Amino acid sequence: MARVVRFHELGGPEVLRIENVDIPAPARGEVQIRVKALGINRAEALLRSGTYIQTAPLPSGLGLEAAGIVETVGEGVDGFAPGDAVSVVPPLSMARWPAYGEIATYPAELVVKHPPSLSWEEAAAAWLQYLTACGALIDIANLQSEDFVVITAASSSVGLAAIQIANMIGATPIAVTRTSAKKRALLEFGAAHVIASAEEDLAARLKEIAGPDGVRVVFDAVGGPIFGPLTAAMAPGGILIEYGGLSLDPTPFPLSAVLAKTLTLRGYLVHEIVRDPVRLQAAKAFILDGLISGSLKPAIARTFPFDQIVEAHRYLESNEQFGKIVVTV
């Protein structure tokens, strides 16, 4: 028996329950982990509320990120042994491989021996944010040192990861946030410029920063009316990578800018990296290099104990955090 978090109905944070359940032994090719820390992500709130890209089979577990100690390895698994300190690349289905629990089981190819310099909290906070940002900026956009890159929802964990990755390769990160409340923190974290989109003229500020050549790469989690000013400031041949949909307003298609500048608007899910062994291996190598060198270091907004999983989700939905929310087990 182990304690796990499940929900039996869709709804707010209050539907999450801690229950004692039997955990089966790992199947062939799987690794079972005694969890020390969990990363909390927006996707988990969406699954819980019934608005995620996957429909939860009720009752359902949830969770995409964990770090802990290898408990048991299944048949056919090489390279891991009980006692190893590991963390987890987010699986394609958190309902199939949920992280929220004292024990979690994953396919061996998603388990990583992270650098020993990382705390459990940092290890649990690393993989989803850096894999999402790396897949977009390095794998798809081929971000270069001379590039300007616009990063919306910049104070989210993925936004902060994108700022660090841009700095790691010498590009210029332009952070976009709704108000100026987090401007100082973003600048201290490494953003070269910060624009408060609700307080400033976004297109004008981007043109002022990037100059006549414009911005080649946009990494957007918001959608909605922001597409107009973003594409207006983009360089010819630029690429806008959309990985979210935080805006509740319709997203207009900026036809004139797309045609005039031959822009690429690219939908993106981290799943496309996870399901491709070659791309995943390249991203893991890039991220591990950054973690080892210290160029990539997860920002922890706040830590909650396991028994306060409901409070952790309420804090997630407050949008007050700067970085990742972590739960210790």
CATH code of residue 63? 3.90.180.10
**């024990």: which residue's tokens?**
103
281 falls within a domain: no
Identify whether 237 is part of a domain: yes
Question: What are the strands, taking DSSP E only, across 47-197?
Answer: 65-73, 85-88, 103-107, 111-112, 148-151, 172-177, 193-196
For residues 261 and 161, state if they share a domain: yes
Task: Tell whether 58 and 23 lie within a shared domain.
Answer: yes
Indicate whether 171 and 263 sit together in one domain: yes
Confirm whether 276 is domain-assigned.
no
User: Is residue 133 one of the residues assigned to a domain?
Assistant: yes
Answer whether residue 117 is part of any domain. Answer: yes
311-320: which pairs have CB atoms within 8 A and are 24 or more residues apart?
A: 311/13, 312/40, 313/12, 313/13, 313/16, 313/40, 313/44, 313/45, 313/48, 314/13, 316/40, 316/42, 316/45, 317/12, 317/13, 317/45
pTM of the model: 0.93
Are 98 and 175 part of one and the same domain? no
Answer for the pair 56, 47: CB distance below 8 angstroms, yes or no. Answer: yes
3-state SS assignment for residue 143: coil
pLDDT tens string, the chain, 329 residues long: the values are 899 999 999 999 999 999 999 999 999 999 999 999 999 999 999 999 998 988 999 999 999 999 999 999 999 999 999 999 999 999 999 999 999 999 999 999 999 999 999 999 999 999 999 999 999 999 999 999 999 999 999 999 999 999 999 999 999 999 999 999 999 999 999 999 999 999 999 999 999 999 989 999 999 999 999 999 999 999 999 999 999 888 889 999 999 999 999 999 999 999 999 999 999 999 999 999 999 999 999 999 999 999 999 999 999 999 888 989 999 99
Which structure tokens are listed for 64?
């995409």
- Measured between alpha carbons, how far is 68 from 48 in angstroms, rounded to an integer? 24
Query: Which CATH number covers residue 194?
Result: 3.40.50.720
Residues 6+ apart with CB under 8 A from 17: 5, 6, 7, 8
The parent domain of residue 164 ranges over 129-271
Report yes or no on 217 lying in a domain.
yes
Residue 112 and residue 42 share a domain: yes
Percent of residues in the chain assigned helix, strand, coil, to nearest 5: 35, 25, 40
Instruction: Give the 3-state secondary structure of residue 314.
Output: helix
Domain tally, the chain:
2
Q: Give the span between the Cα atoms of 264 and 245, in whole angstroms.
A: 18
In a domain, 263, yes or no: yes
Same domain, 66 and 84: yes
On whether residue 189 sits in a domain, the answer given is yes
107 forms beta bridges with 30
The verdict on 85 and 213 lying in the same domain is no
User: What's the CA dihedral at 36, 41, 44, 46 to 10 degrees?
Assistant: 170
* CB-CB neighbours of 94 under 10 Å: 23
Same domain, 210 and 148: yes
> Alpha-carbon Rg of the chain, whole angstroms?
20
